Amino acid sequence: MSDRLAMQDPRRQYPRPPFPRQPQPEPGLAGRMSPRPDHGEDSYVGHGRLKGRKALITGGDSGIGRAIAIAFAREGADVAIGYLSSEDADAREVIALIEKAGVRALALPGDIRDEAWNATMVERVVEGFGGLDILVVNAGHQQYRENVSKVSTEDFDATMKTNLYALHWLCQAAEPHLPAGASIITTASIQAYEPSDILLDYATTKAGIVAYTKALAKQMIDKGVRVNAVAPGPFWTVLQPSGGQPQEKVEQFGAHSAFGRPGQPVEIAPVYVLLASQEASFVTGEVWGVTGGAGVG
């Protein structure tokens, strides 16, 4: 594995723009990206922080979700990943990496916009792993639109159902199964605090995720369950070239961060590991920004 943690200038640690134009149909495949994102395939080293835990991660085939899945597996957790069936090529790679880490893997292809599928995913994890104690709600829908007149009801509905409804359905289904010490982690965004004009519906859902997470945390601590959010800034994931940004912005993606580059998914995975682990035993109702210097709040 590469020595990712060796001291070095973080501004130069990973590729910097300009990047080539690389349009893909939604939801896109990470394997077609240039440069290929670092999800930790060859660089994440685990230390047993999640040994014996049982995790479900939505959007676990690519991007941040893929990095979380790899990290959790190498930290000792059994890992189930939810993803769309059209993302099967990426998902197969992740399942192989989870199994290579010596833990159990579970592939769950389906559409989280279907309420019943969320409950089914939870049931399959509980049956397959004998329980559930980490829920990472990460899958997201992002499609830019130039102005409000271009955001159709269909667009708005798809974003709301993927980013907010599914969050609620998953938490609702998981709640009866989560023991004291369990952790729920949601994925918000810098867009909740600094919304882009072309991401009207997406930014709205990310602000909603922040509010939902903080409210749910107040409920769940009565069961001994912690609930937190992670708010990424610009990360090099397939969400961007598959319609999340115009291609001219993909070319310069991350250039305006303090680092002059986008984050790589492996750089945010350790935050999810911490929040899932007992090391974060006094952390709940928080939003952890990983924004490349932009901050949150």
DSSP string, 10-74: GGGSS--S--------TT--GGG-SSPP--STTT----STTTT-EEEEETTTSHHHHHHHHHHHH
- Its pTM stands at 0.96
Domains by residue range for the chain, with CATH: 46-290 (3.40.50.720)
Q: Which two tokens stand for residue 134?
A: 């980490």
Query: What was the pLDDT predicted at 88?
Result: 95
Characterise 291 by phi-psi region: left (phi > 0), alpha (psi -120 to 50), beta (else): alpha
Which portions of the chain are predicted below pLDDT 50?
Answer: none
Q: Is 202 a catalytic residue?
A: yes
Of the candidates 14, 202, 212, 272, the residue annotated as catalytic is 202
Query: What was the pLDDT predicted at 231?
Result: 98
Q: For residue 141, what is the DSSP state?
A: -
Query: What was the pLDDT predicted at 29?
Result: 87
